Amino acid sequence: MIIKQETELEALGREIMQESVFLDAARDALSSRIIGQKGVVDRVLIALLANGHLLLEGVPGLAKTLIVRTFAAAMDLSFRRIQFTPDMLPADLIGTMIYNPREMEFHPRKGPVFANVILADEINRSPAKVQSALLEAMQEKQVTIGDATYPLSEPFMVLATQNPVEHEGTYMLPEAQLDRFMMKVMVEYPSYDEEIEIMQRASAFGVEDELLPVVRPEQIFLARKLVDRIYVDQRVQRYIVDLVMATRYPDRCGLEDLSPMIEYGASPRASIFMLLASKAHAFLQSRPYATPEDVKSIAYDVLRHRIRPSYEAEAENLKAEDFIRNILEHVQVP
Amino acid sequence: MSARYSRLWVAVLAACALLFAIPQGVAGPVGAADVTVRADPDSLFAGERLNYLIVVHHDGGRSVAVDNLQAGPSTAFEAVRRSQSSKRLPDGSVELRVSVDLATFGKGPQRLPGFTVVEWRDARSKASRFIFRPASSVVVMAATDSTMTQLRPSAPPFGPGFLPWLVIVPVAGVALLLAFAIFFLLKRTILKNSAAGLINPSRFARQKLRSLDRQLSKGLAPAEGYEALSNILRQYLQYQYRFRAMEQVTQEIADELEGRGVRAREVVLKLLLRADFIKFADGRPDIGECRSSLKIATAFITGTPEQLDALAQQAGEAPAPAGQPVSGNPE
């Protein structure tokens, strides 16, 4: 439903203000365990509100796993961690049929994918068939074991982590599978002061208090409904499409130099996810309408894994982020 | 008396005529032999070849040879070929002819080279040597450097006009390249100046605001007026403060204006934020609000620093620190 009247929008704004309080509680819970990484935490919340999946990339030791584990604990959601390894099979993920000799029947044994929040740790350490099994579950939100199809529980969210592909023993995720992730977030090193705090907290003796859930699943569903009602003007929608089209045809927005540098641009799924993520970003700001600022805020995360640099670009050490920056600087804001 | 002088003159002229009839021919007795030399031609360019003919005439009762050519200090000649022959004449005398090709150098009259005539009667007798130095000379014209000591080639490798082109062509090429470079630099500078310097952003923005005011009077919807106002302001900021305001969102514009210390920036930001709300939240302003915003925008664009300070105070903006440049937009 699209709200056109300013008064209705104001009413929605008030509703969002009331219902988004749980986000502050979630942020506080996360920041009690995680030092810094506020951008990553916001992206996790956006993915949760927009019903998307997230890919976290960063070198080992940057608290990727801790962020996801803490997030699941704070949300009162079931959580499973799956460590992807080179010898893993799809059955290890989705489950398999087990023969029960007493009943002389096969019974399904559900795999770890049956949880609300899945941490697919180091997803790029497994071969493509295992990745495909997970990504099919992400897309269809159901799993078939034997002859029976089982729906996955809601909310269902996959937070995958991966190390940079240059690292040894990693498989590059296929583009079609990467496209299913709403956002790819780069986890950066903490700042100097953050690192000191991390060091002090990690070296302190004592047992950490158990993190109690601060968000109920029904709050998440209600927030999702409000996100869905957030107003996105035609101008903002056109701006999103302009950006996505610029990744495919850079020459049309005066970026002729970029054309040979991009092998292929973002898919229509990028436009869909940009719209959803912009709405969720506006919700985080307690705003009942999306603006180009929301679009720009999430543009890097939505687009970076959907743009494939060409051979020439790789030779010049140019990355998708360089193209996105260039495009954002050249596409006119409405 | 006159007849006597006339004969004398005739004799002198005849002698001269005889002298010039055999150019460079010199003759004289050397020992028991008569020696005659002849040079052909009598004038030539440096490096060219001179044929030097020595004729020694003797009675045939002895042996004669020509030796030690260029026995003098002259370095104007260099023998490049020599041949000789002798023959007995009907009267029993013998004539020895030595023909020498000389390369000539130097400049001006060059005295012909001397040589030694050697005579001996038989193998046991002692040889007599006589040095012969001809008094005549040839004129050498220096077409090249007078210090040249190498042989002049029989045909020059290049035409005489070619050498200057060896210098002219590269110089002209470099000059042409420089001219092209200067042309493109000038063109680029002119284009840049015409785009950035010659357009007065303030005047252009005022024209557009006046036009927008007229359109509002003709019934343009206030929401559309706000959108146009937002575009005019952003375009003005882009050209006045040289940053990509048209491709930036309001928060980025705010950061740019703050970085540049622009006075009354809060006024602009309020206008842009209001325009954002109207554009993206489907806001419905009334015509009065739109006209009021138009006036504020005009005041920001045309205001002097003092007027902008007053505008900033109205918007509750902190005063500019002392010494900080205040951006104004005087004509």
User: Residue B323's pLDDT is what?
Assistant: 45
Closest CA–CA distance from residue B250 to any residue of chain A (Å) = 8
- Residues 243-282, chain B: which have Cβ within 8 Å of A? 244, 246-252, 276-277, 279-282
Does A296 lie in the same domain as A183? no
Query: Which residues from chain B sit within 8 angstroms of residue A334, using beta carbons?
Result: 279
For residue B286, the tally of other CB atoms under 10 A from its CB is 9
Closest CA–CA distance from residue B203 to any residue of chain A (Å) = 23
Whether A93 contacts A133, CB under 8 Å: yes
Nearest CA in chain B to A329: B247
Q: Residue B22: helix, strand or coil by DSSP?
A: coil
For residue B189, the surrounding DSSP H or E stretch is helix B162-192
User: Cβ B250–A293 below 8 Å, yes or no?
Assistant: yes
Domain region containing A164: 6-197+214-218
> Could you say which of A288, A293, A329 has the minimum Cβ distance to residue B247?
A329
Query: Which residues from chain A sit within 8 angstroms of residue B269, using beta carbons?
Result: none
Quick check: is B159 in a domain?
A: no
User: From first to last of its 334 residues, what are the pLDDT tens digits of chain A?
Assistant: 444 555 778 888 888 888 888 888 888 888 888 888 888 888 999 999 998 999 988 887 888 888 888 888 888 888 888 888 888 888 888 888 888 888 888 888 888 888 888 888 888 888 878 887 887 788 888 888 878 888 888 888 898 888 776 566 677 777 777 888 999 998 888 888 888 888 887 776 665 667 788 888 888 899 999 999 999 999 999 999 999 999 988 888 788 888 888 888 888 999 999 999 999 999 998 889 999 999 999 999 999 998 888 888 888 888 888 989 989 988 988 8
Does A168 lie in the same domain as A71? yes
| pLDDT at B327 exceeding the cut of 50 | no
Pull the structure tokens for residue B147: 């210090």
Does B31 lie in the same domain as B133? yes
Closest CA–CA distance from residue A160 to any residue of chain B (Å) = 32
B9-35 residue pLDDT tens: 766 666 655 444 444 445 566 666 788
Does A185 lie in the same domain as A45? yes
Quick check: is A241 in a domain?
A: yes
User: Residue B191's pLDDT is what?
Assistant: 66
Quick check: is A207 in a domain?
A: no
The better pLDDT of the pair B46, A156 is held by: A156
Interface of A with B (CB under 8 A): 4-6, 9, 231, 233, 235-236, 288-293, 296, 328-334
User: Cβ B282–A333 below 8 Å, yes or no?
Assistant: no
Whether A131 contacts A177, CB under 8 Å: yes
Query: Which residues from chain B sit within 8 angstroms of residue A9, using beta carbons?
Result: 281-282
The better pLDDT of the pair B283, B236 is held by: B236
Picking from A218, A253, A271, the residue at the C-terminal end of a domain is A218
Preferred mutation among B246, B247, B289 to probe A, highest tally of A CBs within 10 A = B247
Residue appearing with tokens 């805020």: A297
Does A127 lie in the same domain as A17? yes
Does B207 lie in the same domain as B115? no
CATH of the domain at A51: 3.40.50.300
Quick check: is A30 in a domain?
A: yes
Quick check: is A301 in a domain?
A: yes
pTM of the model: 0.64
Quick check: is B174 in a domain?
A: no
User: Cβ B249–A329 below 8 Å, yes or no?
Assistant: no
Q: For chain B, how many structural domains are there in total?
A: 2
Picking from A218, A249, A274, the residue at the C-terminal end of a domain is A218
Quick check: is B150 in a domain?
A: no
> Could you say which of A231, A288, A332 has the minimum Cβ distance to residue B246?
A332
User: Cβ A334–B279 below 8 Å, yes or no?
Assistant: yes
Q: Residue B250: helix, strand or coil by DSSP?
A: helix
Residue appearing with tokens 């440049």: B325
Query: Which residues from chain B sit within 8 angstroms of residue A330, using beta carbons?
Result: 247
Average pLDDT over residues B197-206: 77
Whether A86 contacts A126, CB under 8 Å: yes
> Could you say which of A5, A288, A333 has the minimum Cβ distance to residue B247?
A333
User: Cβ A293–B251 below 8 Å, yes or no?
Assistant: yes
Query: Which residues from chain A sit within 8 angstroms of residue B256, using beta carbons?
Result: none
Picking from A151, A183, A218, the residue at the C-terminal end of a domain is A218
> Could you say which of A4, A233, A328 has the minimum Cβ distance to residue B280?
A233
Picking from B141, B160, B182, the residue at the C-terminal end of a domain is B141
User: Residue A183's pLDDT is what?
Assistant: 92
Does A101 lie in the same domain as A19? yes
Whether B280 contacts A2, CB under 8 Å: no
Q: Is B193 on the interface with A (CB under 8 A)?
A: no
Quick check: is B68 in a domain?
A: yes
Average pLDDT over residues B40-66: 86
> Could you say which of B247, B277, B279 has the minimum Cβ distance to residue A332?
B247
User: Cβ B282–A329 below 8 Å, yes or no?
Assistant: no
Grade residue B204 by pLDDT with cuts at 50, 70 and 90.
confident
Quick check: is A124 in a domain?
A: yes
Average pLDDT over residues B285-291: 86
Whether A217 contacts B266, CB under 8 Å: no
| pLDDT at B325 exceeding the cut of 50 | no
Whether A328 contacts A243, CB under 8 Å: yes
Nearest CA in chain A to B235: A332
Closest CA–CA distance from residue A234 to any residue of chain B (Å) = 8
Does A164 lie in the same domain as A106? yes
User: Cβ B249–A233 below 8 Å, yes or no?
Assistant: no
Quick check: is A225 in a domain?
A: no
Q: Is B194 on the interface with A (CB under 8 A)?
A: no
Does A303 lie in the same domain as A168? no
Does A182 lie in the same domain as A246? no
Does A40 lie in the same domain as A180? yes
Query: In this structure, what DSSP letter does residue A333 have?
Result: P
> Could you say which of B250, B277, B280 has the minimum Cβ distance to residue A236?
B280
User: Cβ B279–A235 below 8 Å, yes or no?
Assistant: yes
Quick check: is B15 in a domain?
A: no
- Residues 211-250, chain B: which have Cβ within 8 Å of A? 244, 246-250
Quick check: is B161 in a domain?
A: no
CATH of the domain at B135: 2.60.40
Q: For chain A, how many structural domains are there in total?
A: 2
Percent of chain B as helix, strand, coil, to the nearest 5: 45, 20, 35
User: Cβ A6–B281 below 8 Å, yes or no?
Assistant: yes
Quick check: is A183 in a domain?
A: yes
Q: What are phi and psi of B252, to 5 degrees?
A: -65, -40
Q: Residue B89: helix, strand or coil by DSSP?
A: coil
CATH of the domain at A280: 1.10.8.80
Does B118 lie in the same domain as B36? yes
Does A255 lie in the same domain as A183? no
Domain region containing B309: 201-314
> Could you say which of A291, A329, A332 has the minimum Cβ distance to residue B276?
A291
Quick check: is A206 in a domain?
A: no
